[in-house]
Amino acid sequence: MAGNTGSTGSRIEPGMTTDFKDRMDYGSYLGLDLLLAAQKPLSDAPDELLFITIHQVQELWLKLATHELDGAIAALRNDELQPAFKSLARVSRIQAQLISAWDVLSTMTPADYLAFRDALGQSSGFQSYQYRALEFRLGAKDPRMLAMHQHHKAHHAHLEALLAAPSLYDEALRLLARHGLPIPAECLERDWRQPHVSNPAVRAAWLTVYRDTHRYFDLYELAEELVDVEDQFQQWRFRHMKTVERIIGFKPGTGGSSGVKFLRTALERSFFPELWELRSEL
């Protein structure tokens, strides 16, 4: 029958490019030779490739997440809420991928990990430059965290700039003020190197938005997009903590931290505290 190639026929259709001499192909565009050569286990342990791959994939997602957050911050600064919503929604989807990565890593048993743990030396995910950049953009500011990046001048300089710049939430509060809501002056111009601290007047402003969603629907949607991002981030933190507990229990981390105990402390910190507090007052 015409058009039926059968089970053994070629799947090459007329017009499909097969000669890539002097042409861009898929692998070249994506730099796959470089990307796939980046997994270099330092031991013979079978699961070290899994460990490296998961963390490299997470770094790629973090790169995209920080790119989208930069877009969201710029959009809020320019009063362009719809592009900000799109970027924040994408960040939440990216975070879902980051969370699911722990499910794959959790297939590694304690014995599997111990077979190559010594090869890690003092390296730890907490030293991730991109994770630190993500935290700073979200408002988890702590100048002390710069210390572990001082050996890399470019990374250190970029993190210093992010530390000194308004975070996503800082720009959201500035936006509320431009929309006529009474945000205290100390929340609009301050030392951006310090984290935002919960403020009753800010909580009251957000309550105004939530109590009149028809009037402030764009700001209401912004608030919920921010809550989505923090919710997903906390789920990522929780899955990270439980995966570490499953694999190493309560042993110290490779980077010198207390391990699970250290990871648990992050679960108590909020990027956007008033957006969580107001729920008890509605």
231-to-149, 237, 238 alpha-carbon distances in Å? 28, 10, 11
Binding residues for heme, by number, are: 240
The dihedral formed by the CA atoms of 203, 204, 207 and 209, expressed in degrees to the nearest 10: -100
Binding residues, by number, are: 51-55, 113, 117, 240, 254
CA angle 145, 137, 152 (to 5 degrees): 45
Binding residues for substrate, by number, are: 51-55, 113, 117, 254
3-state SS string for the chain = CCCCCCCCCCCCCCCCCCCCCCCCCHHHHHCHHHHHCCCCCCCCCCCHHHHHHHHHHHHHHHHHHHHHHHHHHHHHHCCCHHHHHHHHHHHHHHHHHHHHHHHHHCCCCHHHHHCCHHHHCCCCHHHCHHHHHHHHHHCCCCHHHHHHHCCCHHHHHHHHHHHCCCCHHHHHHHHHHHCCCCCCHHHHCCCCCCCCCCCHHHHHHHHHHHHCCCCCHHHHHHHHHHHHHHHHHHHHHHHHHHHHHHHHCCCCCCCCCCCHHHHHHHCCCCCCHHHHHHHHCC
